[in-house]
């Protein structure tokens, strides 16, 4: 059991670079084409392109490809685009089922977009400039809409940090393109956050990071409230596969501990503490 310190650690906040570097110049491809030739994305697109809202209410793009590929989507309110989001399921390599979260996209609004990606042979694919309209969210029953109280919380303690670019603050910044990564903490990884005041909560979530070699994936976690009662273990979420654990309690300081993992530089894309409204 970790102890909660009396002082707050410095909250570094730098971008996690891995996914961004992977997708620069990205597109999806077969294998008999000059790597300098950009071919239509439709050549490897094997399913309808779907835009919708995930279980957190965030905009999402889903598509499948016939070849394992690293994919991304450039999108924005004008033809200049301006946003670039990658497939968080990639874990450092390509695959065929792509889920891309679109932070900031508003339901009912129309956006321009271009799909792009690359396969292992370096072949490039890109779609034409097109538009999508994010569907409106279905009305939630009173008391069922979740609010993430952990976003912007103070990080009191972490088991370790791989570097300032992988700081614990990345797990509570509301940005799915940044991550907290430990320096080899494995199953001993933990992070303690302070909500700023005592709050009634309805659930928790641990969105795990992972590495392309299969390491650094958290499968179960526990939550300790105000350095007292420990709840769980609960199943951890993976990108594209949310797992929100029901937890009805009241508290201010929440400690997330990795209970089971594949070892290595474990950590989280985000940890969430939910209240209902």
How many Cβ atoms sit within 10 Å of the Cβ of residue 125? 28
Please indicate, yes or no, whether residues 182 and 105 belong to a single structural domain of this protein: no
Buried-exposed string 97-118: b where 16+ CB fall within 10 A, e elsewhere: ebbbbbeebeeeeebbbbbbbb
Spatial separation of the C-alpha atoms in residues 103 and 219, rounded to whole Å: 25
Residues 118 and 198 in one domain: no
In a domain, 138, yes or no: no
Distance set, CA 233 to CA 53, 78, 258 (Å)? 28, 45, 9
The torsion angle over the Cα atoms of residues 225, 266, 168 and 2, rounded to 10 degrees, is 40
Residue 47 covered by a domain: yes
Q: Do 257 and 158 sit in the same domain of this protein?
A: yes
* Pair 155, 269 in one domain: yes
Cβ within 8 Å of residue 72, ≥6 positions away: 23, 26, 84, 85, 86, 87, 100, 115, 116, 117
- 124 plus 201 within the same structural domain: no
* Claim to verify: residue 153 and residue 270 sit in the same structural domain: yes
- Model pLDDT, residue 32: 45
Tell me what pLDDT residue 198 has: 95
Q: Which domain holds residue 57?
A: 18-133
**13 located within any domain:** no
Same domain, 108 and 194: no
pLDDT by position in tens, the chain (length 277):
444 443 333 333 333 333 333 333 333 333 444 446 899 999 999 999 999 887 667 788 889 999 998 888 999 999 999 999 887 665 567 788 888 888 788 888 999 999 998 998 889 999 999 999 988 866 544 555 678 999 999 999 999 999 999 999 999 998 888 899 999 999 999 999 999 999 999 999 999 998 878 899 999 999 999 989 999 999 999 876 788 999 999 999 999 999 999 999 999 999 999 997 6
Q: Rounded to the nearest 5°, which phi and psi values hold at 165?
A: -70, -15
End residue of a domain, out of 133, 166, 195: 133
In this prediction the pTM is: 0.63
Query: What CATH code is carried by the domain that includes residue 228?
Result: 2.60.120.260
Q: Report if residue 217 sits inside a domain.
A: yes
pLDDT at 94: 79
CB neighbour class for 238 (10 Å; exposed up to 12, middle 13-18, buried from 19): buried
- Counting Cβ atoms within 10 Å, is residue 210 exposed (0-12), middle (13-18) or buried (19+)? buried
The two tokens of residue 105 are 């996209």
Given 133, 158, 191, the domain boundary residue is 133
Choose one of 104, 133, 162: the last residue of a domain: 133
Does one domain contain both 196 and 163?
A: yes
């Amino acid at each position: 059991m970790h102890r909660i310190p009396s002082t707050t650690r410095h909250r570094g906040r730098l971008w996690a670079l891995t996914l961004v570097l992977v997708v620069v110049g990205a597109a999806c491809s077969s294998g008999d084409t000059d790597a300098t030739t950009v071919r239509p994305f439709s050549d490897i697109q094997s399913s309808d392109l779907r835009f919708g809202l995930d279980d957190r209410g965030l905009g999402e793009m889903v598509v499948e490809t016939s070849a394992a590929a690293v994919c991304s989507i450039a999108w924005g309110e004008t033809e200049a685009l301006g946003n670039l989001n990658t497939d968080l399921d990639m874990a450092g390599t390509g695959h065929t089922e792509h889920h891309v979260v679109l932070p900031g996209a508003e339901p009912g609004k129309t956006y321009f977009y271009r799909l792009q990606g690359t396969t292992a042979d370096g072949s490039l694919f890109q779609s034409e400039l097109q538009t999508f309209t994010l569907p409106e969210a279905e009305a939630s029953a009173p008391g069922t809409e979740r609010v993430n109280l952990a976003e912007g919380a103070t990080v009191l303690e972490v088991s370790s940090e791989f570097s300032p670019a992988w700081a614990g603050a990345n797990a509570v910044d509301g940005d799915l393109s940044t991550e907290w990564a430990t320096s080899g903490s494995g199953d001993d990884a933990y992070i303690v956050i302070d909500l700023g005041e005592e709050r009634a909560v309805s659930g928790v979530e641990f969105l795990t990071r992972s590495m392309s070699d299969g390491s650094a994936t958290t499968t179960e976690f526990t939550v300790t409230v105000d350095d007292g009662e420990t709840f769980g273990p609960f199943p951890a979420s993976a990108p594209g596969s949310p797992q929100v654990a029901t937890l009805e309690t009241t508290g201010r300081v929440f400690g997330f501990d990795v209970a089971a993992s594949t070892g290595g530089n474990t950590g989280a894309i985000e940890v969430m503490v939910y209240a209902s409204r």
